[in-house]
Structure 1
Amino acid sequence: MKKILVIEDNELNMKFIREVLRRRGYAIIEAYDGADGVALAEQALPELILMDINMPHMGGIAALKKIKQIAPLENTPVIALTAYAMEGDREKFIKEGFDDYIAKPISIGVLMEAIGRIFK
């Protein structure tokens, strides 16, 4: 069973992602801010991280930088989840080090396509 860490501060978004992924057989680990996400990533060593960008205490970009400094996680794929959906945002987040980008509101199809590209 593939282990996915979801770092998302919005409870409704977390519930949606949790239900979609659990029904598809993924093990889900949950963090509600970037700092907790970094700690859980280091402890659990997930195979994929879904990361919100705007979170309290530590945003997604800062959390990504910290996660990528942890040796066993440096190649772990991280997908940005964000309400930013302006032209050029995908490229901006990829340049920051994310492996993919999903705009909110999240659609099941888009989410599963992105995960499928990672776990191909």
Structure 2
Amino acid sequence: MGLNILAVDDSRTMRDMVRLTLASVGMNVTVAEDGVHGLELLEGSLPDAIISDINMPRLDGFGFIRAVRGIDRLRAVPILVLTTESAPELRARARDAGATGWIVKPFDPRKLVHTVQLVTG
């Protein structure tokens, strides 16, 4: 498939799970440990999709998504939120920030792959 994905999560275990899941179907996954690190990695790249947690140190998912949407060349990149949170008001806040979709942890690997394929379609 060859898609380039940026996964942003403060949990090393979660970063590894996302990377292994997507790499198993041929996607290239770059990982960042929080929103600040994610923005640093985006300076020189244009991923096909971004997956971001919400609750992270330094820069949370909402701030990260808003920052990404403020960069012209990244405006159309799909952003999926992958989080333990499921409250409707948080989903609405993520959508307002510019998120494309929402996946609740723990995630089903097949669903994650399918959703990434769907939004990059």
* Residues matched between the structures, number: 120
Partner of 2:8: 7
- The alpha-carbon distance between structure 1 residues 109 and 43, as it changes in their structure 2 partners (threshold 3 A), is same
In 2, Cα distance between equivalents of 1:18 and 1:74: 23
Partner AA of 2:91 in structure 1: R
The residue matched to 1:85 in structure 2 has which SS? coil
CA contact (8 A) 2:78 2:120 kept: no
- Where do 5+ consecutive residues of structure 2 fail to align? none
* 1:89 CA displacement: 4.1
Match runs of 1:60-75 below 5 Å: 60-75=61-76
CA contact (8 A) 1:3 1:27 kept: yes
* 1:87 CA displacement: 4.3
Partner AA of 2:105 in structure 1: K
Match runs of 1:33-44 below 5 Å: 33-44=34-45
Whether 1:19 aligns to 2:20 is: yes
In 1, Cα distance between equivalents of 2:88 and 2:75: 28
Partner of 2:51: 50
TM-score, normalised to structure 1, is 0.92
Q: RMSD between aligned alpha carbons?
A: 1.4
Match runs of 1:94-113 below 5 Å: 94-113=95-114
- Where do 5+ consecutive residues of structure 1 fail to align? none
In 1, Cα distance between equivalents of 2:89 and 2:108: 20
- Cα deviation 1:60-89 (Å, max 9, x = unaligned): 110111111111101111001111123454
